[in-house]
């Protein structure tokens, strides 16, 4: 199963707040899933340095939630990685709680992180403030000191392609800057995307950047760009694509998928070149809000559905055949209850 | 906020009969001018420590004069019948000939010609129990023969009502629909509704029965202003862009055809916010400038939806010192 996922594509992921984050006092549920398992992880846990664990991949990253005096919670500690095997480890060289643009600690919110769709790569800020991508069973690629403009680490959104070969760094906040697209093997800057453009992710094979931008007459255009940032294709999609987010771009760089959730769930595909809805398949989905959607095969998309039960985030990952509408559950898990925020792998 | 259109009333035929309006309007022997708008001034209220509508609603007539509407409640009431800190309900038809308001004293919703004459009471159901004046969104068909009432109740339970003024007959629309307005002849109401696939469908309800429905392109739904024509299926749209002038297009609900349309000779921020087809089949749009609470410059334009050519039919200013106003057609 993992092999299949490796072959395929799709990526993207954003930080997500678990249901638990602010709802319940942490530490009160130690049940089967979790426990506040922090600080004690050692390198011996990790799959990073050990060939024998090379088949294991990252399910998601999580950072612990700590109470704030006077109420509320904040992120604390290091980023933790939860593997598909269930093993847990920390990313020892990754910045957990974000630093401001001037290097001081924010104290509350975490620094950006991203997991590739195949679960083999993780992008983050090092404790020294450098952008880095780590490969399971491989090394760490540190990016140039000036890879990103000065920005607080929580103002940056990191997006990896499904195979982790490409990284997009979106710089938001009060002084947004153009999105930078990198090759994660070499750390080279491949191109930039203007800051007024929303970066939705990479195409299934990671060869295009999928974006959207406000257009004339109050509509939003979908725009496919090359890795250098140049516009390859643009379309104003029909309502059913525009209204059901997130959309995902296939490896062909022109087919877009949207998933309608709810009681009448449908997988909708749209061809940007022909400006045509090419398929609407009724699908049976498990409960949950659509969290991520990625193309993971020529006729397959993978959806992350996040449900909330008794204060925890329950993730169900399904593979949907875009031709038959058949749905297969690939994975299910409960996000660590003590999470302040988590970032799932895509795909 | 309220506004309305003053427009096309020039062609309206002479109305017989005396005004029956206040002394502010000197009686003319010939046809009284149509109303461009209605307004009510604001006074500082020491008890509430804020500016509240005070005095009477006044019509702003085409000839620039004001006419006091004594029968209309200046201040509305809340759901419990207490005086509210907001103006009473007031609306004027696009042709400027008919007004609807809540009557002073009993707050019953009524309709009357702006030139005066008999008052027609709307059925009591027009104002369900417990609904405050600030929860009523009332508009008239372009010639004032029908009234559309939407209620700002939460959760949205009260059906939107369409009332034929002459007969008092009521057509209820599902509260799941949001009304965009009457067709030119008042025989259809255009609505939208969000569907389970998160798209918004557009409906033309024929009040005699029957409905045409289509899920249009996003551009049609996101247009700033919609004006259904008398045929009940053609909808004129005014769209806005950040850096380009507003554009006029037509969309046919029956066929799904969207015209290429044309840009209007206006600045990007001059969005037509009221539009209707007049009795002669001409598309009319109202553009308003000026910030909220300040004097507004209102321009009424006749627009060719194919070429974007616009001719100014009227221009006036209204509203100052925190006064509340409503334009014809609003």
CA distance A311 to A253: 39
In-domain check, residue A279: no
B-chain residues within 8 Å CB-CB of A214?
242
Which residues in A lie closer than 8 A to residue B241 (C-beta atoms)? Answer: 216-218
Average pLDDT over residues B153-166: 91
In a domain, A14, yes or no: yes
Residue among B218, B243, B244 whose CB faces A219 most closely: B218
B196 vs A217, A237, A262: nearest CB: A262
> Contacts of residue A221 in chain B, CB cutoff 8 Å?
none
- In a domain, residue A305? The reply is no
Tell me the backbone φ, ψ of residue A4, rounded to 5 degrees: -60, -45
Of A239, A260, A263, the CB nearest to B200: A239
- Assigned domain for A144 exists: yes
CA dist., res. A182 & res. B82, Å (int): 65
Nearest to A341 by CA among A291, A286, A290, A287: A291
Q: Do A264 and B223 touch (CB under 8 A)?
A: no
Mean pLDDT value across residues A209-219? 97
Range of the domain at A136: 8-237+339-345
State what percent of residues in chain A have pLDDT above 70.
84
Burial of B298 (0-12, 13-18, 19+ CB in 10 A): buried
Of A214, A217, A244, the CB nearest to B219: A217
CA of A313 to nearest chain B CA: how many angstroms apart? 24
Binding-face residues of A in 39-68 toward B, CB within 8 A: none
Alpha-carbon gap, residue A11 to A346, rounded angstroms: 5
In this prediction, residue A19 has a pLDDT band, given cuts at 50, 70 and 90, of: low
Which pLDDT score is estimated for A281? 97
Instruction: Select the more confidently predicted residue: B235 or A16.
Output: B235
Angle at B73 between CA B72 and CA B76, to 5 degrees: 140
* Half-sphere exposure at residue B127, Cβ-oriented, CA atoms within 13 angstroms: 25
Question: Average of pLDDT values for B124-131?
Answer: 95
Q: Which residue has the higher pLDDT, A3 or B129?
A: B129
Whether A213 has its CB under 8 Å from any CB of chain B: the answer is no
**Domain count along chain A:** 1
**Which chain A residue is nearest to residue B240, measuring alpha carbons?**
A217
Place of tokens 């007004």: B99
pLDDT band at B7 (very low <50, low <70, confident <90, very high): very low
pLDDT at B17: 33
B212 vs B230: CA distance, rounded Å: 14
Q: What is the mean pLDDT of chain B?
A: 90
- Cβ–Cβ of B239/A236 closer than 8 Å? no
A216 with B242: Cβ contact below 8 A: yes
Is a pLDDT exceeding 80 seen at residue A51?
no
Contact B242 A214 (CB under 8 A): yes
Question: Which H or E run includes A6?
Answer: helix A2-7
Residues 6+ apart with CB under 8 A from B29: none
Residue A285 lies in a domain: no
For residue B246, the chain A residue with the least C-alpha distance is: A217
pLDDT at B113 over 60: yes
* B78 vs B85: CA distance, rounded Å: 9
pLDDT digits (tens, 9 = 90+) for A266-308: 999 999 999 999 999 999 999 999 999 999 999 999 999 999 9
| Position A103 in a domain | yes
| B132 has a pLDDT exceeding 80 | yes
Where are the alpha helices (H) located in A221-323, listed in sequence order?
239-242
* Least confident segment among A66-75, A169-178, A282-291, B285-294: B285-294
Closest partner residue to B247 among A217, A220, A240, by Cβ? A217
Q: What is the pTM of this model?
A: 0.85
Distance CA A258, CA A222 (A): 13
A239 contacts B217? CB cut-off 8 A: yes
């Amino acid at each position: 199963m993992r092999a299949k996922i490796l072959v395929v594509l799709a990526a993207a992921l954003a930080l997500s707040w678990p249901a638990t984050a602010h709802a319940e006092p942490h530490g009160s549920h130690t049940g089967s899933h979790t426990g506040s398992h922090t600080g004690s992880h050692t390198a011996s846990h990790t799959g990073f340095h050990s060939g024998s664990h090379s088949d294991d991949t990252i399910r998601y990253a999580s950072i612990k939630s700590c109470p704030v005096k006077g109420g509320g919670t904040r992120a604390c500690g290091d980023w933790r990685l939860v593997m598909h095997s269930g093993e847990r480890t920390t990313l020892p060289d990754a910045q957990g709680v974000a630093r401001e643009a001037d290097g001081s600690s924010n104290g509350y919110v975490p620094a950006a992180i991203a997991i590739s769709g195949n679960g083999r790569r993780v992008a983050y800020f090092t404790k020294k403030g450098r952008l880095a991508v780590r490969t399971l069973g491989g090394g760490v690629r540190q990016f140039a000191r000036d890879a990103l403009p000065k920005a607080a680490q929580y103002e940056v959104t990191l997006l990896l392609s499904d195979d982790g070969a490409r990284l997009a760094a979106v710089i938001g906040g009060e002084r947004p800057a153009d999105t930078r697209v990198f090759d994660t093997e070499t750390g080279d800057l491949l191109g930039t995307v203007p800051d007024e453009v929303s970066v939705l992710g990479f195409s299934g094979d990671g060869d295009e950047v999928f974006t959207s931008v406000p257009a004339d007459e109050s509509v939003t255009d979908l725009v496919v760009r090359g890795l250098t940032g140049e516009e390859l294709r643009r379309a104003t999609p029909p309502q059913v694509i525009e209204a059901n987010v997130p959309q995902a771009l296939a490896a062909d760089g022109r087919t877009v998928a949207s998933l309608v959730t709810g009681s009448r769930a449908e997988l909708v595909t749209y061809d940007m070149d022909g400006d045509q809805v090419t398929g609407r398949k009724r699908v049976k989905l498990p409960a949950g809000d659509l969290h991520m959607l990625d193309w993971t095969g020529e006729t397959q998309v993978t959806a992350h559905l996040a449900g909330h039960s008794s204060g925890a985030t329950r993730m169900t990952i399904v593979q949907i055949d875009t031709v038959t509408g058949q749905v297969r559950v690939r994975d299910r898990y409960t996000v660590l209850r003590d999470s302040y925020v988590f970032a799932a792998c895509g795909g | 906020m309220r506004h309305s259109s003053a427009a096309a009333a020039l062609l309206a035929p002479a109305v017989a009969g005396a005004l029956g309006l206040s002394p502010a309007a000197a009686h003319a022997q010939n046809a009284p001018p149509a109303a461009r708008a209605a307004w009510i001034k604001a006074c500082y209220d020491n008890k509430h420590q804020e500016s509240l509508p005070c005095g009477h609603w006044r019509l702003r007539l085409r000839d620039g004069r004001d006419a006091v509407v004594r029968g209309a409640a200046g201040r509305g009431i809340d759901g419990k019948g207490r005086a509210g800190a907001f103006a009473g309900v007031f609306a004027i038809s696009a042709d400027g000939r008919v007004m609807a308001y809540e009557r002073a004293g009993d707050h019953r919703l009524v309709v009357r010609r702006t030139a005066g004459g008999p008052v027609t009471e709307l059925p009591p159901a027009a104002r369900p129990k417990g609904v405050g004046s600030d929860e009523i969104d009332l508009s008239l068909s372009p010639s004032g023969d029908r009234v559309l009432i939407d209620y700002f109740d939460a959760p949205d339970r009260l059906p939107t009502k369409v009332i034929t003024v002459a007969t008092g007959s009521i057509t209820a629309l599902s509260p799941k629909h949001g009304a965009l307005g009457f067709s030119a002849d008042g025989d259809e109401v255009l609505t939208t509704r969000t569907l389970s696939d998160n798209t918004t469908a557009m409906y033309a309800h024929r009040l005699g029965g029957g409905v045409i429905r289509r899920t249009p392109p996003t551009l049609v739904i996101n247009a700033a202003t919609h004006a259904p024509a008398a045929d009940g299926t053609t909808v004129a749209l005014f769209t806005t862009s950040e850096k380009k002038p507003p554009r006029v297009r037509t969309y046919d609900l029956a066929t799904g055809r969207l015209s290429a349309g044309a840009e209007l000779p206006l600045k990007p921020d001059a969005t037509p916010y009221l539009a209707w087809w007049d009795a002669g089949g001409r598309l009319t749009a109202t553009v308003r400038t000026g910030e909220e609470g300040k004097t507004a410059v209102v321009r009424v334009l006749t627009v060719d939806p194919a070429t974007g050519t616009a001719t100014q039919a009227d221009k006036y200013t209204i509203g100052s010192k925190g006064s509340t106003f409503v334009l014809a057609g609003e």
